[in-house]
Structure 1
Amino acid sequence: MTTTEITDPRPLYAAALSWAHDVVRGVRPSQLDGPTPCTEFDVRTLLAHLVATVDRAAALGKGIDAASTPSFVPAAPDDGWGTAYGDAISAMWTVWRDGPGSDDLLDRTVTAPFGTVPGRAAVLAYTSETLVHGWDLAVATGQDAEANPAVARAVLAMMQRFLPAEPRGGRIPFAPPVPPRDDAGPTEQLANWCGRGRA
């Protein structure tokens, strides 16, 4: 699958969200204060951000500037993050997949934190964010850190096309790419391209 074939990115987003949801449900309360490869977030903060990314995707579909919505949700109960994430996903799909005119949203211009783009570009960007932060969370909590390989490869190809290796930093909030390990799978390679690496 290539980026030119991604006319409807919602199946990719759905697959990424399903995998990430499994990772979220696998987090133990005793792990919530642990570090993650996303060095500014511990596990609890990363969970709060992951849920917020889905809320922001829903806001975009409603015509709301996503940057005006919080980038972190309030803390859930220690054993409630799976439910919080699942509820956010269900609410988002009522806009992007099930709502009136939802197919038209792919061509509608939306205002994301990274700019004004067509809806399909925003969905692809949130798919990448889901996979990268899902990888962060899986690595931090000792879970399987590889999503569906076909999904991860498609998103990696898209990010390599639209996110250049340089410049990074400042207006482009990504660290330089990390050289992949010899046995890195496509999800890890995506995280590497977005500036993440294992400790």
Structure 2
Amino acid sequence: MTAADAPDTQGTQDSTVDPRPFYTRATAQAAALIGTVRPEQLTGRTPCAEYDVRTLLSHIVGGTLRIAVVGEGGDGLAVRMFVDGVGDTAWPTAYEAVRSRVLRAWAGDERMTTPVRVPWGNIPGRDALSAYVMEIVAHTWDLSEGLGRPLALDPELARFSLAAARVTLPDGSREGRPFEPALPAPEGADAYGRLAAWLGRRPLSSTA
């Protein structure tokens, strides 16, 4: 049984699971969603109160560039988490460029066991990339909410991400982390709803 197949109520993740296929799928999903963005949507709200759609896209591209640098053995903490100068219709191209760079950087098996430096410490690459799956899947949900849910999202990616989130972001105080305390998941919430609640997010429909 893989982490993605395990019941997410366990709150644990199998440390032997290779996160690379999940990351590839998660970034393909994000790329498809980014491809739907229309210029008039860029100022729309997202579940991240401080980000409109444009700022969220800037963060997704900047954060993905950081992951690429980490995978290349560089100092990802020196990379800004936002990018500037991307035109209103150029976000799909900008994201595809950094996404391709990440996939190349993390392709080797040795990267899974080699320690890398991330904001929360020096950890094996496998653990870091699992957390980055969670990050892009969470932001894909954020973006989907901001765009009016134009595409169906892969529930297996949300289940994998929730298992990773429960390891990286245990319940309780999250001081110093860019996440609010976990919220109760709404009754009947799907995998993305449960992930969003664990990360302290609410659907836009509940915050209007």
TM over 0.5: yes
Alignment correspondent of 2:153: 147
Number of residue pairs matched by the alignment: 194
| Contact persistence 1:12–1:151 (CA under 8 A) | yes
Q: 1:159 to 1:146 in 2, by over 3 A?
A: farther
Cα separation, 2, equivalents of 1:125 and 1:157: 10
Post-superposition Cα deviations, 1:104-140, rounded to whole Å, max 9, x if no partner, equal 0111111112221111111111111101111111001
Cα separation, 2, equivalents of 1:18 and 1:45: 20
| Contact persistence 2:24–2:103 (CA under 8 A) | no
Cα separation, 1, equivalents of 2:16 and 2:187: 28
AA paired with 1:186? A
Alignment correspondent of 1:157: 163
Moved over 4 A (4+): none
Q: 1:81 to 1:9 in 2, by over 3 A?
A: same
Q: 2:42 aligns with which of 27, 32, 48?
A: 32
Q: Give the Å deviation of 1:184.
A: 2.0
Post-superposition Cα deviations, 1:125-178, rounded to whole Å, max 9, x if no partner, equal 11111011111110011124753212211221222233211012x223320112
Q: Could you list the runs of 5+ residues in structure 2 that have no partner in the other structure?
A: 4-12
Q: Secondary structure at the match of 2:123?
A: strand
AA paired with 1:184? A
Alignment correspondent of 1:184: 189
| Contact persistence 1:48–1:75 (CA under 8 A) | no
TM-score between the two structures when normalised by the length of structure 2: 0.87
Q: Map 1:1-199 onto structure 2 (within 5 A).
A: 1-2=2-3, 3-4=13-14, 6-97=16-107, 102-144=108-150, 147-168=153-174, 170-198=175-203, 199=207
Q: Give the Å deviation of 1:188.
A: 2.4
Aligned-residue RMSD, C-alpha: 1.6
Q: Which of 62-71 and 137-146 deviates more?
A: 137-146
Identity of aligned residues (%): 38
Q: Could you list the runs of 5+ residues in structure 1 that have no partner in the other structure?
A: none
